[in-house]
Structure 1
Amino acid sequence: MCAAITGLRRPPDGLTDSKLLTPKRRTALAKVLEGWVTAHALGHASPEEIDDMGMTSALRLAASRALEQLPVRPDAVILDGKHDYLGNPWQVRTVIQGDRSCVAVAAASVIAKVRRDRMMAELGADHAHFAFAANAGYPSPVHQAALKEWGPTPYHRLTWAYLDALPRWRHLKKARTWATGGIPEIEGQLDFDL
């Protein structure tokens, strides 16, 4: 999760939703953005925290960690999407596809994705069968085949439904014990930053 504060300067050329950029362009743009933004900070939730509290609460935790690391407290927070998973004490505005319409959200998206991909590549060095450098933790065919053969790593969430389809490893699955508090639970891939 990345929190970014931007000024009123012209954004770097090509700034958009990180998913619309090639990995090479995204990496180059992230270097520019880290100098262009007024401030940015990253926050993470561990797989264990996600398993213990659920994805929505873990998103709140990661976002709070990022926001608390900023050198100044923002007056308002723009969240990409339709759910306010952050809540009080922050003044929050949600924007669907905010990473395509808001430069601060787009900048945070690019910086977070590049950092996450780098982290996944580093994890892949110790878990080569999973091809984390290529799939960034998403459930690609190679990733799914590795899960079937080798089971989950310490970096996989054990409440994720992937274990349902893996009889050999199903015994490792943790039951979900958390409630979403009326907010739809946001399911995802192996996540460190969202």
Structure 2
Amino acid sequence: MPYEAPTHTVERSLRATTGAKLVAGVDEVGRGAWAGPVTVCAAITGLRRPPAGLTDSKLLTVKRRDELAEVLVDWVTAYALGHSSPEEIDALGMTAALRLAAVRALEGLPVRPDAVILDGKHDYLGAPWKVRTVIKGDQSCVAVAAASVIAKVRRDAMMAELDAEHADFAFGTNAGYPSPVHKAALEERGPTPYHRLSWSYLDALPKWRHLKKNRVPVLSGGTPEIEGQLGFDF
């Protein structure tokens, strides 16, 4: 399917209007999954010509996405990944969990960006970060597209590692997202320690719906770090 290659238009605009010299593109993966973390990548690319074929990770085949990720981790100026665990998602809700993962990614960069391009129309990051939201930024902005590919490949790899422990759930192919195999395994075996227990999928599982958790906000400063648990990348 043909697509337009991403550009540095937004980055250039931020430089011209705000004086931002270092601009990070930020994108997430795992928001709609039943299991696993939500993962955010922050990438700084500068204004160099991007690798051929770079676009939103969802528009790429698995093979091409993996190939591009290998190139991107050396091509970008800097990148970092942040994760929020299923437990944190259950406790905080998705918006706050996304912010937590994004802050972890941004603070993992070796340099602090002057501005952030956030994929989508909602700013879940907020102050003190200077944020520009861009709908379909993963298709139109180089830094966001790079972040989308790296985040997707790294999270998929994390979920694939769970296959040996929970083979019936096919995490290696569905990455924790809804699928017929995933649903059948849930009906038979119930949720694993990697599942989000506040998610509505449990409502359709009579045998296991008693495990569903009501979200209880975590007090400020009470959210545990999961850097070691989920492989925070620098």
Map of 1:10-21 to 2, 5 A cutoff?
A: 10-21=49-60
| SS of equivalent to 1:50 | helix
Is there any run of 5+ residues in structure 1 with no aligned partner, and where?
179-191
| SS of equivalent to 1:106 | helix
Structure 1 residue 81 corresponds to structure 2 residue 120:
yes
Deviations 1:55-84 (A, max 9, x none): 000000000000001011001011101110
Q: When the two structures are superposed, what TM-score results if normalisation uses the length of structure 1?
A: 0.91
Which position in structure 2 is the counterpart of 1:42?
81
**In 1, Cα distance between equivalents of 2:84 and 2:188:** 27
Instruction: Quote the RMSD (CA, aligned, Å).
Output: 1.5
Q: CA deviation at 1:19?
A: 0.3
Which position in structure 1 is the counterpart of 2:16?
none
| SS of equivalent to 2:213 | coil
**In 2, Cα distance between equivalents of 1:91 and 1:69:** 17
Over the matched positions of the two proteins, sequence identity in percent amounts to: 80
| SS of equivalent to 1:126 | coil
Q: CA deviation at 1:37?
A: 0.3
Q: CA deviation at 1:8?
A: 1.3
Q: CA deviation at 1:177?
A: 3.7
Q: When the two structures are superposed, what TM-score results if normalisation uses the length of structure 2?
A: 0.75
**In 2, Cα distance between equivalents of 1:92 and 1:174:** 33
Amino acid of the residue matched to residue 210 of structure 2?
Answer: H
**In 2, Cα distance between equivalents of 1:53 and 1:45:** 10
Which position in structure 1 is the counterpart of 2:193?
154
Which position in structure 2 is the counterpart of 1:70?
109
Which runs of structure 1 show a deviation greater than 3 angstroms over 4 or more consecutive aligned residues?
none
Which position in structure 2 is the counterpart of 1:103?
142
Structure 1 residue 127 corresponds to structure 2 residue 177:
no
Q: CA deviation at 1:176?
A: 2.6
Which position in structure 1 is the counterpart of 2:19?
none
Is there any run of 5+ residues in structure 2 with no aligned partner, and where?
1-39, 218-230
Amino acid of the residue matched to residue 61 of structure 2?
Answer: T
Which position in structure 2 is the counterpart of 1:173?
212
In proportion to residue count, which structure has more strand? 2
Match of 1:138 among 166, 174, 177: 177
Q: CA deviation at 1:7?
A: 1.3
| SS of equivalent to 2:162 | helix
Q: CA deviation at 1:15?
A: 0.2
Aligned residues between the structures: 181
**In 1, Cα distance between equivalents of 2:183 and 2:47:** 44
Which position in structure 1 is the counterpart of 2:223?
none
Structure 1 residue 57 corresponds to structure 2 residue 126:
no
**In 2, Cα distance between equivalents of 1:44 and 1:125:** 22
Q: CA deviation at 1:148?
A: 0.6
